[in-house]
Amino acid sequence: MLAVMDINRREFIALPGAVMAESLLAEETAVPWHQKVRRVGQVNMTERDVVDMKVEEWADYWASAKVDAVLVSVTGIVAFYPSKVPFHKPGQYLGDRDFFGECFTAAKKRGIRVVARMSPDLNWEEAVHAHPEWFQKDAQGNPQRHTEDHRLYRTCMFTTYFTEHMPAIMREINARYDVDGHYTNGWPPLGSLPVCYCDQCKRLAPPGSPEYWEQFNERVVYLWKLYDGIAKEKRADSLFYANLGGGARCTANLKQLAEVCHWFNCDNQGRGGDDTPIWGCTLQGRVCQATMKGRTSTNVTGMWSTGAVRWRNAAKSPAEATMWFDETVASGMVIWYTFIGAETGMGEDRRWQAPGREYFNWLARHDRHFVNQRTIANLGVVMGQRTHLFYRPPGNATAQQYLDALYCALLEGRFLFDFVHEDDLGAENLKKYSALLLPNIALLSDEQCRQLQAYVDSGGSLLATFETSLYDERNRRRADFGLADVFGIQKAGEIQGTLGNAFYARIEKQHEIVSGFANTNWLPGAEYRVPVKPVEDAVLTVVPGFVAYPPELSYPPTPHTSEPAVVLREKGRSRLVYFPGDVERTMWRSGHTDLSRLIRNSVRWVLRGETPVSIEGRGAIEAFAWETEPGFAVHILNYTNPNMHRGWIREYYPIGPQKVSLKLPPGRKVTRVELLRAEMGIPFRQREGAIEFTIPKVVDYEVAAIY
Ligand SMILES: [Zn+2]
């Protein structure tokens, strides 16, 4: 049986007797409900909904969308039920109603699971007077107000608000309702680490430091376990989980958290019209797969107007929201669909309802092909959470740019790849990958460098750029690269920036990584580089930058150096590439196609051209391949769109035939290839060890189910 299910079953069998006896009756029920969830719905409730929401209509909608679970607000900011917990203030329209209870009953009547949604992040002024110790303080010791609604104050996660007040609410819910789970919005904090000077936090390392992060992570794991334990006091198959997200920059250490987390919810609701690439959702899916290894990960699609300018109560373009759905399921996550406020959501702007219902009904017809066992990919991209949180790159760069840039080049090259967490570089996790890519993973510990060395010694290949391994895990700069021996490189000076022209890379000899470059002796280099000492047989050497203006002086004073612009090595099966320049980010900033080609050529070289899946055809796509319960699935997302890099998508531009070849395990017979979006079977050709077929057309998304 599949590995993920085995883990769940083992854990489940460790649960108390009554539940275990029941589970042994039917093998299928041995997997807890939360590991089988396929669709989740949420009208994010406002306190006004007590007056405006028609509870039966709300429940009917979610039943028509075939959701497995809904979120119903208990909250913590305003109570949606008659709470007796002090400072759990009832919403101003609640009166003597039990609004949570009414929603709970309506959902349960329709066979829908109910998760109690809480917000532990904010409370009111009266609580500040009674319990000043609960709240975040600024450097002067004043409680911190919420930036949008000044009547609210921010609670501190290191205080008894989190160890006593929140547990009291959770236990009250357990006592009153048979809920299926507890969930917190607003904690752990998203985006940035807390900065607090309360009495508890004053004992911690300075806010924002790597040492603080370690204490923060300990606290997150402690509270997560505490809350999960409280959920399980009620029912063994209940759980606690929380809002996470933030892609590779999540505040909590995801490797540590994954040890205790059974449901990863990504508060990654959509992009705005600002300059953000379309793959924000699939990137999140890759982060979840790297850390959760197939346990439930949901991604919230907000059908409201997300982005820099927001309309929380107006619907967005359905084509954009649908692409976010597509990305969610293609990357192995489960859709959690949301709109805010019944008054507006069920009343004023109802445009959110149809897209979700239609998509969910389509999904429900094909659920089994979205139950994944493992990804099919031989390429790993190391995600560096510490680099995202603590590294300060030169210029106005952000750590996200290196990752987005490499991501873009990998999509252009139609590579299939996984993310690999920096704290998960052990041999067992890396054995499926022929090569690992390190897009300026500046922070790596000595131990992580040793693990990468061991990976190379066992035949794995590496490609790294720029300041990779120049800092340790505490963001302390090393005198030389932590991976100096692995790549055979030595730092020869401090970072060189750009004056007018960025530097050039002179082609010294022919090699696979410079294939396709004709009629030129040089290529664009990068905006920044770390000078490294000369190596033998350099393929590319640095031509230092010079002025772009005036043109009279725009020529290289030093046309030839021995400083390498790339260092290539082969050791046994292992192939190694190190770019001293920030080539991927420079490609991202400049759009230069030569740099994209250079990166793609280099990735192909480290992979020795081997790939388990190939997809040929025109268009900008992102692809995933999964081993599924029934067989295999190849997912193709069509990003060929003027709004690929700047939302929102207005309409789709279908692409033509995509020729797919997938390697099969020895002896594996295929009887059917079915396109799930087009809902039709297609012809295929099976030859020894592989299957080939052509997908005639992809509108927004297509899934070829192979079984
Ligand atoms: Zn504090």
- CA distance to 166, 424, 608, 690, per residue, from 418 (Å): 37, 13, 18, 21
Q: How far is the CA of 393 from the centre of ligand 1 (A)?
A: 29
Q: How far is the CA of 457 from the centre of ligand 1 (A)?
A: 46
Q: How far is the CA of 154 from the centre of ligand 1 (A)?
A: 10
Mean pLDDT in consecutive groups of 10 residues from the start of the chain, 707 residues:
37 41 53 97 93 93 97 97 97 96 98 98 98 98 96 98 98 98 95 95 96 98 98 97 92 96 96 92 98 97 92 93 98 95 72 95 98 97 97 94 98 98 98 98 98 98 98 98 98 93 95 97 97 97 94 93 98 97 97 98 98 97 97 98 96 98 94 98 94 98 98
Sorted by sequence, the CB contacts under 8 Å of residue 16 that are 6+ apart come out as 236
Q: Do 517 and 527 contact (CB within 8 A), yes or no?
A: no
Q: How far is the CA of 185 from the centre of ligand 1 (A)?
A: 19
Q: How far is the CA of 133 from the centre of ligand 1 (A)?
A: 8
What is the spatial distance between Cα 423 and Cα 707, in angstroms, rounded to a whole number? 35
Q: How far is the CA of 121 from the centre of ligand 1 (A)?
A: 12
| DSSP-derived 3-state class of residue 291 | helix
Q: How far is the CA of 176 from the centre of ligand 1 (A)?
A: 31
What is the spatial distance between Cα 142 and Cα 200, in angstroms, rounded to a whole number? 14
Q: How far is the CA of 24 from the centre of ligand 1 (A)?
A: 46
DSSP 639-663: --STTSSSSPP-S---B--EEEEEE
Q: How far is the CA of 74 from the centre of ligand 1 (A)?
A: 24
One-letter amino acid for residue 211 of the chain: E
Q: How far is the CA of 641 from the centre of ligand 1 (A)?
A: 46
Q: How far is the CA of 694 from the centre of ligand 1 (A)?
A: 58
Q: How far is the CA of 377 from the centre of ligand 1 (A)?
A: 43
pLDDT of residue 342: 66
Sorted by sequence, the CB contacts under 8 Å of residue 25 that are 6+ apart come out as none
Q: How far is the CA of 83 from the centre of ligand 1 (A)?
A: 26
Q: How far is the CA of 136 from the centre of ligand 1 (A)?
A: 5
* Peptide linkage before 304 cis (omega within 30 of 0): no
Q: How far is the CA of 198 from the centre of ligand 1 (A)?
A: 4
Sorted by sequence, the CB contacts under 8 Å of residue 347 that are 6+ apart come out as 52
Q: How far is the CA of 226 from the centre of ligand 1 (A)?
A: 19
Q: How far is the CA of 264 from the centre of ligand 1 (A)?
A: 25
Q: How far is the CA of 47 from the centre of ligand 1 (A)?
A: 28
**Orientation angle between helical segments 55-64 and 99-109, nearest 10 degrees:** 40
Q: How far is the CA of 140 from the centre of ligand 1 (A)?
A: 13
What is the spatial distance between Cα 345 and Cα 53, in angstroms, rounded to a whole number? 9
pLDDT of residue 344: 56
**Radius of gyration of the chain measured on its C-alpha atoms:** 27
pLDDT of residue 630: 96
Looking up tokens 């590991």 gives 35
Q: How far is the CA of 157 from the centre of ligand 1 (A)?
A: 7
Q: How far is the CA of 189 from the centre of ligand 1 (A)?
A: 13
Q: How far is the CA of 659 from the centre of ligand 1 (A)?
A: 56
Q: How far is the CA of 202 from the centre of ligand 1 (A)?
A: 7
Q: How far is the CA of 251 from the centre of ligand 1 (A)?
A: 16
**214 exposure class (CB count in 10 Å sphere: 0-12, 13-18, 19+):** middle
Q: How far is the CA of 4 from the centre of ligand 1 (A)?
A: 38
> What 8-state DSSP symbol labels residue 164?
I
- CA distance to 487, 557, 588, 669, per residue, from 543 (Å): 22, 9, 21, 55
Sorted by sequence, the CB contacts under 8 Å of residue 119 that are 6+ apart come out as 75, 76, 77, 184, 185, 186
pLDDT of residue 348: 85
Q: Please tell me the pTM assigned to this model.
A: 0.94
Strand pairing category for 181-184 and 240-244: parallel
**98 exposure class (CB count in 10 Å sphere: 0-12, 13-18, 19+):** middle
Q: How far is the CA of 310 from the centre of ligand 1 (A)?
A: 30
Token pair, residue 399, equals 């750590």
Q: How far is the CA of 592 from the centre of ligand 1 (A)?
A: 46
Q: How far is the CA of 200 from the centre of ligand 1 (A)?
A: 5
- CA distance to 168, 664, 693, per residue, from 416 (Å): 47, 16, 18
Q: How far is the CA of 143 from the centre of ligand 1 (A)?
A: 10
> What 8-state DSSP symbol labels residue 503?
P
Q: How far is the CA of 252 from the centre of ligand 1 (A)?
A: 17
CB atoms within 10 A of CB 515: 13
Q: How far is the CA of 168 from the centre of ligand 1 (A)?
A: 20
Check residue 63 and give left, alpha or beta (phi > 0: left; psi -120 to 50: alpha).
Answer: alpha
Q: How far is the CA of 130 from the centre of ligand 1 (A)?
A: 17
Q: Which sign, positive or negative, has the C-alpha torsion 646, 648, 654, 657? A: positive
Contacts of residues 472-478 at CB distance under 8 Å and 24 or more positions apart, as own/partner, are: 472/443, 472/444, 472/445, 472/446, 473/210, 473/386, 473/443, 473/444, 473/445, 473/448, 474/210, 474/211, 475/210, 475/386, 475/390, 475/391, 475/443
Strand pairing category for 372-375 and 684-687: unpaired
Backbone angles phi and psi of 9, in degrees to 5: -65, -45
Q: How far is the CA of 292 from the centre of ligand 1 (A)?
A: 29
Q: How far is the CA of 203 from the centre of ligand 1 (A)?
A: 9
Sorted by sequence, the CB contacts under 8 Å of residue 115 that are 6+ apart come out as 69, 70, 71, 72, 179, 180, 181, 182, 183
DSSP 571-603: ETTEEEEEESB-HHHHHHHH--HHHHHHHHHHH
Q: How far is the CA of 470 from the centre of ligand 1 (A)?
A: 33
Q: How far is the CA of 77 from the centre of ligand 1 (A)?
A: 19
What is the spatial distance between Cα 483 and Cα 434, in angstroms, rounded to a whole number? 18
Edge-first strand order for the sheet with 418-421 is 418-421, 379-383, 435-438, 461-465, 574-579, 567-571
What is the spatial distance between Cα 107 and Cα 56, in angstroms, rounded to a whole number? 9
pLDDT of residue 29: 57
Q: How many helices (H) and strands (E) does the chain have?
A: 21, 31
Q: How far is the CA of 142 from the centre of ligand 1 (A)?
A: 11
DSSP 193-243: -----STTGGGSSPTTSHHHHHHHHHHHHHHHHHHHHHHHHH-TT--EEEE
Backbone angles phi and psi of 259, in degrees to 5: -65, -25
Q: How far is the CA of 495 from the centre of ligand 1 (A)?
A: 38
Q: How far is the CA of 135 from the centre of ligand 1 (A)?
A: 7
Q: How far is the CA of 212 from the centre of ligand 1 (A)?
A: 12
pLDDT of residue 2: 34
